[in-house]
Amino acid sequence: MRVVILLMVTLLALGCAAKVAVPDAVDDPRAEPVRDLVLFPQNPLAYLDMPGKAEALIAPERHEERFAEFRERFFAPWARERPAHGAAEALWGFSAHAGRNVWGQDLRRRPPEWIRNLADTALAGDYPNLGRPAVALTRLDMRVLPTAAPVFGNPELPGQGFPFDLNQNSAAHAGTPLFVSHVTADGWMLVETSFAAGFVPARDIAFVDQAFMDAWRALPLAALLREGEPLRLDDGRVAGVSRIGMVLPLAKGSDGPRLLLPVADPSGMAALLRIKAAPGLAEPLPRPLTPLQAAATAAELTGAPYGWGGLYGERDCSSLLQDIFASFGLWLPRNSRQQAVFGRSIALAGLLDDEKAALIREHGKPFQTILAMPGHVVLYLGQWRGQAAVLHAVWGLRTGEGERRGRLVIGRTVITGLAPGSEHPDLSREDGKLISRLTAMTFVE
* Size of the chain in residues: 445
The amino acid occupying position 220 is: P
- 183: pLDDT strictly greater than 80: yes
Contact 259, 231 (CB under 8 A): yes
pLDDT of residue 277: 85
pLDDT of residue 28: 52
Taking the C-alpha atoms of residue 293 and residue 376, their distance in angstroms, rounded to an integer, is 24
DSSP 155-172: TTSTTTSTT--TTEEEEE
% of the chain surpassing 70 pLDDT:
91
Whole-structure pTM value? 0.91
pLDDT of residue 24: 38
- 70: pLDDT strictly greater than 60: yes
Instruction: Count helices and strands (H / E) in the chain.
Output: 12, 21
> Tens digit of pLDDT for each residue in 84-133?
999 999 999 999 988 889 999 999 999 989 999 999 999 999 999 999 99
Q: What is the mean pLDDT of residues 226-249?
A: 95
- 12: pLDDT strictly greater than 80: no
Contact 438, 14 (CB under 8 A): no
- 19: pLDDT strictly greater than 80: no
pLDDT of residue 424: 86
> Tens digit of pLDDT for each residue in 347-387?
999 999 999 999 999 999 999 999 999 999 999 999 999 99
Q: What is the mean pLDDT of residues 178-189?
A: 98
CA distances 437 to 400, 408, 415, Å, are 17, 17, 18
Taking the C-alpha atoms of residue 276 and residue 255, their distance in angstroms, rounded to an integer, is 9
Crossing angle of helices 291-299 and 317-326, in 10° steps, is: 130
pLDDT of residue 406: 79
- 11: pLDDT strictly greater than 50: no
> Tens digit of pLDDT for each residue in 246-267?
999 999 888 888 999 999 999 9
- Pick 252 or 47 by higher pLDDT: 47
Q: What is the mean pLDDT of the chain?
A: 91
pLDDT of residue 58: 98
pLDDT of residue 287: 97
Taking the C-alpha atoms of residue 382 and residue 44, their distance in angstroms, rounded to an integer, is 10
pLDDT of residue 22: 34
Using the CB atoms, write b or e for 165-203: b if 16+ within 10 Å.
bbbbbbbbbbbbbbbbbbbbeeebbbbbbbbbbbbbbbe
Q: What is the mean pLDDT of residues 224-241?
A: 94
Contact 315, 307 (CB under 8 A): yes
> Tens digit of pLDDT for each residue in 133-178?
999 999 999 999 999 999 999 988 877 889 999 999 999 999 999 9
Report the candidate in 283, 364, 285 with the shortest Cα–Cα distance to residue 50.
364
